[in-house]
Every structure is written in structure tokens, then in C-alpha cells.
Amino acid sequence: MHTTTLGRTGLRVSVAGLGCGGFSRLGLSTGKTAAEATALVRLAIDSGITLIDTAAQYGTEEIVGEAIRHVPRDSVVLATKCLTVLDGAPTTAARLAESIEASLRALGTDYIDVFQLHGVSPERYDRAMTDLLPELIRAREAGKIRFLGITESGGNDRSHTMLQQAVTDGVWDVGMVAFNMLHRTASDHLFPATQAAGVGTLVMHAVRSIFARPDFLAASIRELAATGVVPARLAASDAPLDFLVHAGGAASVTEAAYRFARHSAGVDVVLFGTGSADHLRANIESLNRPPLPAADLAELLDLFGNVSGLGLESPKS
């Protein structure tokens, strides 16, 4: 497993991170048992993954806690989160403190490596700074969390407005950003700033339904062609990204998407969700492969450089 340093945290982590939410929630969303989900997390660790990202909202903290119970605590980097709106009301400092304590109990640990405010929209950022940041700092000073993180709201903040502000404030050690081959706006609008500031980056949405479903991808590209965002000739193709799949390139569009995200400047860790051992192994293999050929990247940018907002679909509640 290839490793990297997560920004200024100094944490040495795997470039592949296990996401415990998303569509699958470690397989729980598709009928897997808690024991099967726990075994999947253990397989990820045995395969070299050292960063595990979960959240109270996902309902998987206990599974992660059980999976890491028999490994040295310093061999894994745990990231979890709390929403800034709970039960329809803005999260208070007291509720945040309760969430941190609940996550510590569920994970079975004395400290959380990266505690993140979850899905912060631009309009909620100022309140997060004034009302919630002081509580995070108190928890850090008490040794309950090591580093502060913040995650954007994906499709609701396509220009990364919140994270652009967060980077300049200098208090956030890690940011989670939506980024993929058809939503590469962070390369222009965010990653230069995170690199300059030493803010670690966790990438979500590197691969979502659009890259795994040829029909969905083709239909989305046709819509873009109809509005002139991409060349009109792409509307005639049922496989508009298949130029990436060839003997010297990627084995599949999904693999290409993982390799694109993994080797983009400014990306530290690419998160992926999974519900099966085979899928987990395949994703790790993709993320350990080298960059896409330069000619393929150039064509990708030429055809889709003006595209944004695709591949950000969210799981149904």
C-alpha cells in the first residue's frame, strides 16, 4: 500500500482510505450483518489501509470500534464527524461535546485522530466558527481529539466556497472535498491553497454511480452536449470515457477514475466505500496503480475540462 503524509498533521496514512458511509455503509445498506461489516474493516486493515473515515450519522462507528479492538491503536488513523444540524436544529456546543463523547465510546478509543464538522455549507460556516470551534479546541486540549477537520456539502457547494474560506482561517488541519474526473473544480479553486497552507485533503466522490453505470454516464454526457458544455459528437457515444480504457491505460472507467483522483496534485487520501471483499481489493489495486497516461489526461481535460457537478449523487436517507 502506498502511503502519504496528511498535510501538516504529520500523520502517515495510506493513500486509500476506507469510507464507512456512502451508498454501502460497509454493506449494511445491502443486507450485510454487523459481523460481516466488521470482517470487511479488518480485511481493509490487513490489506494496508490505515485511514478509516466514519461518522455518527453512518451508524458504523461501533463496527469500526470492534474491528480495531485487537490492533495497536497507533496503527490506524480514525476520522469521524458530527453534523452541524441535528434533529432539525443547529448543533450547539453542548450537543457537539456529547457527540464527541459518544463517538469515543462507540469507537472504543481514548482519542480520535481527526474530528470533523460534517457537511458544512457556506451559509453555516460562520456559526461553526463562532459556536462550535471553541468546543473542538477544548476537546483537543483535553486530548480527546488530535486534529480538526471540516467537510464540505458536495453538490451544494460546487465551487468549494466553504473550504476556500476554511483554508484561510488557519484552524482546520484537514478538509474533505468532493472531487472526480467530471468535477475537478478543486484543482483550480482549492488545492493550490490547501497545499500552500498544509491542509490535508480527504477526497470523497472519486467514484460514484456515474462511473459504474454506463447508461447513466452516457445520458449525463448527452445532456451536457445538448447545452454545448462538451463537444456535440459525444452525444452519439454510449461510452464517452472509454478512450481511457486500453492496454496502456486503465482496465476500466472506474479504475481510471480512482487513478485520476489519486494522482491529482493536492490530493492526499482517496476515500472509497464498499460492501464486499472483492470490491475492496479491486479499489486498493486501482489506487496503487500509476498515473493515467499523459495523452489520456490531456484528452480528458480537453473534452471535459469545463464540466463540473457530475458524480456527486448522494445516498438516499
Query: For residue 52, what are the β-bridge partners?
Result: 18, 78
**DSSP secondary structure string, 227-274?**
TTSS-GGGGG-S-TTGGGBSTTSBSSHHHHHHHHHHTSTT--EEEE--
CA distance 28 to 220: 29
**How would you write the pLDDT of the chain (317 residues) with one tens digit per residue?**
999 999 999 999 999 999 999 889 999 999 999 999 999 999 999 999 999 999 999 999 999 999 999 999 999 999 999 999 988 899 999 999 999 999 999 999 999 999 999 999 999 999 999 999 999 999 999 999 999 999 999 788 999 999 999 999 999 999 999 999 999 999 999 999 999 999 999 999 999 888 888 999 999 999 999 999 999 999 999 999 999 999 999 999 999 999 999 999 999 999 999 999 999 999 999 999 999 999 999 999 999 999 999 998 877 54
Q: Any idea of the CA torsion for 22, 26, 27, 29, to the nearest 10 degrees?
A: -40
Q: How far apart are CA 195 and CA 186, in angstroms?
A: 12
Is 111 catalytic? The answer is: no
Domain ranges of the chain: 3-213+264-293
> Is residue 300 packed enough to be buried (19+ CB in 10 Å), middle (13-18) or exposed (0-12)?
buried
* pTM of the entire predicted model: 0.96
Annotated catalytic residue, options 58, 111, 125, 258: 58
> Each residue of 247-302: pLDDT tens digit?
999 999 999 999 999 999 999 999 999 999 999 999 999 999 999 999 999 999 99
SS3 171: coil
Cell of 200: 490535508
Q: Thinking of the domain 3-213+264-293, which architecture would CATH place it in?
A: Alpha-Beta Barrel (3.20)
Q: Which residues pair with 5 in a beta bridge?
A: 12
